[in-house]
Structures are given as C-alpha cells and as structure tokens.
Amino acid sequence: MVFGMAQFRSKLAEEIYNITGENVYLCYFCGECSGGCPFAEFMDFLPHQAMKMIQLDDERVLGSKTLWYCASCFTCTSRCPRGLDIARVMEGLRVILLRRRKDAVDLRKIKDLEKLPQIAVVAGSRKYTG
C-alpha cells in the first residue's frame, strides 16, 4: 500500500491503515499520548510504544494488555501534536485480533450449552462471529 510517496515498511502498519485510515508513521514518539493516558500504569506497553511496535511490525503488540486497557477516552488522540487518532489505532488492533480469531470460541464444541447463562452464550457467539 502506498501512502503519499512512501510505502509501508510494516505489514501491521498497512493493516492498521486499511482498517482505520490512520498512518502510524506520523507518530514521532513524543509521549504526549502516554503522559495523559489514565490507564497507562496498567499497560505493559505505553501508547507511544505501541505505535513504535506497529511501525516495526512487532506483533507482540497484539498480545499486550495495552489493547484491552485502552478505554477509548480519546485523551491520547486529543493530545497528539500530529493529529494521529491513537484510540482508533488501538481499536484497529483489536479488530485485527478478532479477524484472526486468536481467541474465538467454537460453540459447537461446548458440552451442555443449554445450561450456560444466556449472556455467556451471546458473548461467545459474538466473539466467534466477530
């Protein structure tokens, strides 16, 4: 995928761009996003570090707690001097995981499905069809 005059050097960055329209190469790691994140203390990678990992095609970011601690409060997005929607990038990473079905639940393999709480079945089926 070509963005402007440069090609993406990272497949992960290209995938994020295709899902969100956000170019993670705009990030120059100033740390403004991480400095304002209300959940930064719980994350294993801070938001600006996650942007770097995407740029480097480091898929460890997909297995990090950071994606799930992001509350999409847009504090990071509002603080970014480059106008990068970091909350949208985090959502894009979650979409990638869902599309890859890394933690999908196969309801056909669950015994006694009718005995489970309905909300658990609904949540499992949404994950499976995500």
* 96 neighbors 19 (Cβ within 8 angstroms): yes
How many domains, the chain? 1
Q: What is the DSSP string of 32-43?
A: HHHHH-TTGGG-
pLDDT per residue as tens digits for the range 8-51: 889 999 999 999 999 999 999 999 999 999 999 999 999 999 99
Bridge partners (DSSP) listed for residue 2: 7
Q: Give domain status of residue 94, yes or no.
A: yes
Of 9-18, 60-69, 107-116, the range with the lowest mean pLDDT is 107-116
Structure tokens at 80: 């970014």
Q: Give domain status of residue 120, yes or no.
A: no
Task: Give the range of the structural domain holding residue 44, as residue numbers without chain letter.
Answer: 2-103
- pTM of the entire predicted model: 0.76
Q: Give domain status of residue 22, yes or no.
A: yes
Q: Give domain status of residue 51, yes or no.
A: yes
Please report, for the domain that includes residue 93, its CATH number: 1.10.1060.10
pLDDT per residue as tens digits for the range 112-124: 878 877 777 776 6
Q: Give domain status of residue 112, yes or no.
A: no
Buried b or exposed e, range 14-39, using 16+ CB within 10 angstroms: bbbbebbebbbbebeeeebbbebbee
